[in-house]
Chain A
Amino acid sequence: MNSPLKIGVVMFPGSNCDRDAACAWADDLGLGESVFLWHTETAIPAGIGAVVVPGGFSYGDALRAGAIACFAPIMTEVAAFAKDGGFVLGICNGFQVLCESGLLPGALVRNEQMRFLCRPVNLRVETTDSPFTNRYTPGEVVSIPVAHGEGRYVCSPETLAELHRTESVLFRYCEPDGTVGEKSAANGSQDNIAGIIGGVRRNILGMMPHPERAVLPRLGSEGGAKLWYSLRESLAIAGAEPVFVIA
């Protein structure tokens, strides 16, 4: 168990979930160490096994949410890290940044009903064949909060078909009993998509809900804890060389 269990959490001007993510990993769950990566940094320190691109309003959401953050110096490093198979987890604004960077397909646009949604939602775990969900059971329903104004996932029909073909949809909004209805996604997300996975080794996850805010019963839910446990297990198994290869 001497594998790298250190995560790096990116900080952009306007990030506001960076400390939550670092705290969830290192303190609430005690899974390892968290270090912060300032947006102007030009290298990811050695020993970091996973990078979290956190939620918030990077660069004040200027132009489009996540559009400016792509050009921050640290994102060049994060993109290289991701392309080498390193685990990258984009949460909320982080998901928007990963889509804008082209590391994940599709885009996130204004919620269908034009409201900022801030509340717990039910998510169905669509596949456990990923470094981020291996501790869940397939079809498990978890409660994790969302907090976004631009979380409606959209992509081309071809991309959507490809996502389903490769089992790249990780989380979908659902009802408490696990059924996915037309109205399950309060934000109007295409196909009720809440989180998708990409990268050569299924090593890049983008999701709108906040797993770092749901790791302890006293936070209202611990539905997100297994995601961090999954990541820890993946890091421990993989060491420096992730092994989750899916064609």
Chain B
Amino acid sequence: MYENAPCLVGRGIALLDTPRIAWHNKTVMPKVIIHVLPKPTILDAQGRTVQNALHSLGFGGVENVRIGRSIELNLPESFTAETATQAVATMCDKLLANPVTEDYRIEVAA
């Protein structure tokens, strides 16, 4: 399917670059998903606002809405699930989460 797509690269438009890489890439890079959430002890203003909106929508029983972020990344294939978790924990401690206000959970997907 990809081979039949019109090649635009020669005209300076590399529209299909990303699928081409995925197509030929036989190795699997460990994919990690990091879930960062505000600590329960910190008032999550955004979560509270959304909770109020859910109540307005009729979902009166909804509680403890907290809004964080999830971060996905791929690691070099040399990483195992265990070393990936260790490396990502260091990333979280140093940058991806603020230890004063946020908790994180690491999920190694592949």
Q: Which residues of A contact B95 (CB under 8 A)?
A: 63, 67, 71
Determine if B45 is an interface residue (Cβ-Cβ < 8 Å): yes
Classify the secondary structure of A's interface with B. loop
Any A CB within 8 A of the CB of B101: yes
Residues of B within 8 A of A110 (CB): 45-46
Instruction: Tell me whether A77 is interfacial, beta carbon within 8 Å.
Output: no
Q: Is the CB of B45 within 8 A of A111?
A: yes
Q: Which residues of B contact A107 (CB under 8 A)?
A: 98, 100-101
Chain A, interface size: which category? Answer: 20 to 34
Q: Report the interface size for chain B: residues with CB under 8 A from the other chain.
A: 11
| CB-CB under 8 A for A155 and B100, given A63-B95, A67-B95 | yes
Residues from chain A with Cβ under 8 Å of B43 in the complex: 112, 188
Chain A positions 32 through 65: 1 when the CB is less than 8 Å from some CB of chain B, otherwise 0: 0000000000000000000000000000000110
State whether A154 and B45 are in contact (beta carbons under 8 Å apart), knowing that A67-B95, A67-B98 are contacts in the complex: no
Closest to A64 in B: B98
A205 to chain B, nearest CB (A): 19
A213 to chain B, nearest CB (A): 25
Q: Within the complex, what minimum Cβ distance (angstroms) separates A68 from chain B?
A: 8
- Within the complex, the shortest CB–CB distance from B13 to chain A, in Å, comes to 28
Given contacts A63-B95, A63-B96, contact A154 B46 (CB under 8 A): no
CA A100 to CA B99, docked complex, whole Å: 10
A186 on interface, CB distance cutoff 8 Å: no
Q: How far is the CB of B83 from chain A (nearest CB, A)?
A: 23
Please report the C-alpha to C-alpha distance between residue A28 and residue B71 in the assembled complex, in whole angstroms. 45
Which of the residues B38, B49, B100 comes within 8 Å of A114, measured between beta carbons? B49
Whether a CB of chain B sits under 8 angstroms from the CB of A2 is no
Cβ of A120 under 8 Å from chain B: no
Contact residues in B for A99 (Cβ distance below 8 Å): 100
- B101 close to A154 (CB less than 8 A): yes
Considering the chains assembled together, what is the distance between the CA atoms of A50 and B46 in angstroms? 37
Q: Name the distance in Å between A103's Cβ and chain B's nearest Cβ.
A: 13
In the bound complex, how far is the Cα of B36 from the Cα of A64, in angstroms?
Answer: 12
Max chain A Cβ within 10 angstroms of own Cβ: one of B38, B96, B98: B98
- In the assembled complex, the Cα of A100 lies from the Cα of B95 at a distance in Å of 9
9 smallest A-B Cβ distances: which pairs?
A107-B100, A110-B45, A107-B101, A114-B45, A112-B45, A114-B49, A107-B98, A109-B101, A154-B42
Contacts beyond the supplied A107-B101, A112-B43, A154-B42: 8 A-B pairs with Cβ under 8 Å: A99-B100, A109-B38, A109-B42, A110-B46, A111-B45, A114-B45, A114-B46, A155-B100
